[in-house]
Structure 1
Amino acid sequence: MKRTAFVFPGQGSQEVGMGKEMYEAYPSVKRLFDEADKALGFSLTTLMFEGPAEELTKTENAQPALLLNSVAINQVLKEQGVTPSMTAGHSLGEYSALVASGSLDPLEAVKLVHLRGKLMEEAYPTGKGTMAAVLGLNQENIEDVIKDFDGELAVDLANINCPGQIVISGTKQGVEEASDKLNEAGAKRVIPLNVSGPFHSRLMKPASADFSDHLSKTEVRDAEVPVYANVTASPVIEAETIEKLLVEQLYSPVRFQQILEAFVEEDVDAIIEVGHGKVLSGLVRKVKRRMKTFNVQNPETLQDFIQWYKEDS
């Protein structure tokens, strides 16, 4: 049997129309979407298929939409006899990975990330925090530049995505001043991101306390398949540890490059991006150019992957 790692996209990959082809092609996907609408008390499905894009992009909507889409596709893969050897997700995508690994119930996860999105939006005043992608500098260089940024200029590492692509997060003024210094330090570019808050920074700690209370009321089970956590880039199975790391994830950097390097060390046959877009597949290629990757987001790409998976196995 082929060894695969499933990775699940995070916020920013949403797009109006995502999931519609799978919804129309597979009864189990339609059933899950309909159940999610009931669980949330509004039609997330309509928002995903028809927009408007501005509404879908709101954190409290984008997060459950992306998760629902990913876990529905994963469900079809499971029906086709495909089980990953390990999973991971980028930020929000970690919740999809936990569903795929049997740690979270799909509908409980949809409700949980809807709430998570609201708490993240409310954690810091709108427009006062931001993020920026730093291209062409390594982690040590960036840490050296931002180490003294504190208080009203607080800036932290947020996403360590791949060699030469790291995201910083913090107060708007702090990120702007840090961007200037990072350009002076030799960054190829520093690109402001269109986000509503300083995610994965110390400024998210107020949200983590409220989120922890709600998470404690959600059933989190031991994972059946190892999930590589964003906070540690290490595999985790125990429910208690999963809960602890999900709370820390809100204000800690996403160590996605290290997760992908760990998958390469585990000698998987392919890394499969399960969900909308190809962002993570692109990161895989920057970590290990020759790693076989698939993006499964519609019936056509699903069948392409299934064909490969069942060859000689």
Structure 2
Amino acid sequence: MKTAFVFPGQGAQYIGMGEEFYNNFKIAQDVFNKSEDILGINMKELCFEGPMEQLSLTEITQPAILTTSYAILKVLEDKGVKADVTAGLSLGEYTALLYAGAIKFEDAVKLVRNRGKYMQEAVPEGDGKMAALIGIDIEGTHRLIKDLRDNGIIEAANYNCPGQIVITGESDVIEKAVALAKEYGAKKAVLLPVSAPFHSSLLKPAGNNLKNDLEDIDITPLNCDVISNVTADYINENEIKDLLIKQVCTSVYWQQSIEKMLNDGVTRFIEIGPGKSLSTFIKKIAKKQKTKVDIINIESIKDLDLLI
């Protein structure tokens, strides 16, 4: 049985995430303490007590989720749980690269803090939006984008799972897309409460800034397979920096990444970190593929006990 570790991205945060692991495992405490030392912020207080408004600031959210996911991952590793392949949704890809040994935690947590800052600053607030299209297929989404392209920048941000695609771009055209989405097969379309048009070409300045940061980062050989959001395929260490730059301003091929794993014989998925969104996506993808899978979410001690 092949196992995959998958890691959540921005939006999974909640007050109290990681607290049980911090209180019960020294190895998790070390991760949170190291994160605080590196960033100079009270990561424990933000994750365990909030307030939610501050925890949801992009430049705080990204290192907070990375720290929480990595703390839980270290506990799993200490318990001897291993994976054959790994991937993460957007921000979560950094935790996947940590598991694969490609980057150091101290580099990753600084990178994602800056990544969040760059993404927030790339587009003035109000100039860009994102929307979730529910019940639509890929073909319908592409027709909608093509038909509205003359009105402004509109692109696919996330291919999450069958029937759920997120679009991104300039505010006016995204609002038009929401109004017209049912004509293209969507059951509903909902504007998302985000502060920038993530994973759109509007965020190229953020990618350029990230490129400068990545020049100072050492990438080491991968010790397990990693699937990239940008390609939905396996990568090698020579591609990592370029793919992390592109990831900021291009589509996240999550559905296609999971399909790749299923086609290659992965039958057990362990979602590590806050929330259960990836588990929900994987169930829908596996159902469409008519593949039976074992999906486990690890965000509490109870989850860990059930796995062990």
- TM-score tier (shorter): over 0.9
Contact 1:152 1:171 survives alignment (8 Å): no
Pairing of 1:91-130 with structure 2 (within 5 A): 91-130=90-129
The aligned residue for residue 256 of structure 1 is 254
CA separation of 1:151/1:27 partners in 2, compared to 1, >3 Å: closer, same or farther?
A: farther
State the distance in 2 between where 1:152 and 1:125 align. Answer: 19
The aligned residue for residue 55 of structure 2 is 56
Cα deviations across residues 188-219 of structure 1 (Å, max 9, x unaligned)? 00011110000001111111111101111122
Shift of 1:107: 2.1
The aligned residue for residue 12 of structure 1 is 11
Q: Does 1:28 align with 2:27?
A: yes
State the distance in 2 between where 1:92 and 1:149 align. Answer: 28
The aligned residue for residue 279 of structure 2 is 281
User: Which residue of the other structure, out of 287, 293, 298, is the alignment partner of 1:291?
Assistant: 293
Pairing of 1:174-189 with structure 2 (within 5 A): 174-189=173-188
Shift of 1:184: 2.1
The aligned residue for residue 300 of structure 1 is 302
Shift of 1:151: 7.3
Contact 1:233 1:256 survives alignment (8 Å): yes
Shift of 1:43: 1.0
State the distance in 2 between where 1:34 and 1:232 align. Answer: 34
Q: Does 1:134 align with 2:136?
A: no
Q: Provide TM-score, normalisation by structure 1.
A: 0.94
Shift of 1:222: 2.1
Letter in 1 for 2:304: L
The aligned residue for residue 192 of structure 2 is 193
State the distance in 2 between where 1:185 and 1:237 align. Answer: 38
State the distance in 1 between where 2:236 and 2:223 align. Answer: 7
Shift of 1:177: 0.9
State the distance in 2 between where 1:74 and 1:186 align. Answer: 39
Q: Secondary structure at the match of 1:175?
A: helix
Shift of 1:302: 1.1
Contact 1:131 1:175 survives alignment (8 Å): yes
Q: Between 294-303 and 144-153, report the one with greater CA deviation.
A: 144-153
Shift of 1:150: 4.4
Contact 2:207 2:248 survives alignment (8 Å): yes
User: RMSD value over aligned CA atoms?
Assistant: 1.2
State the distance in 2 between where 1:127 and 1:179 align. Answer: 16
Letter in 1 for 2:269: I
Shift of 1:237: 2.4
Q: Between 183-192 and 203-212, report the one with greater CA deviation.
A: 183-192
Q: Secondary structure at the match of 1:250?
A: helix
User: Which residue of the other structure, out of 263, 266, 270, is the alignment partner of 1:265?
Assistant: 263
User: Percent identity, aligned pairs only?
Assistant: 41
Cα deviations across residues 131-158 of structure 1 (Å, max 9, x unaligned)? 0000121112111121254476211000
State the distance in 2 between where 1:8 and 1:194 align. Answer: 21
Shift of 1:183: 2.1
* Count of residue correspondences: 304
Q: Does 1:38 align with 2:37?
A: yes
Q: Which runs of 5+ in 2 are unaligned?
A: none
Cα deviations across residues 57-107 of structure 1 (Å, max 9, x unaligned)? 011011001111111111111111122100000000000100011111112
Letter in 2 for 1:26: F
Letter in 2 for 1:304: L
Q: Provide TM-score, normalisation by structure 2.
A: 0.96
Pairing of 1:74-89 with structure 2 (within 5 A): 74-89=73-88
State the distance in 2 between where 1:45 and 1:217 align. Answer: 28
Cα deviations across residues 163-187 of structure 1 (Å, max 9, x unaligned)? 1100000011110012222222231
State the distance in 2 between where 1:73 and 1:114 align. Answer: 19
State the distance in 1 between where 2:224 and 2:54 align. Answer: 34
Contact 2:155 2:167 survives alignment (8 Å): yes
State the distance in 1 between where 2:25 and 2:296 align. Answer: 20
Shift of 1:44: 1.5
Letter in 2 for 1:200: H
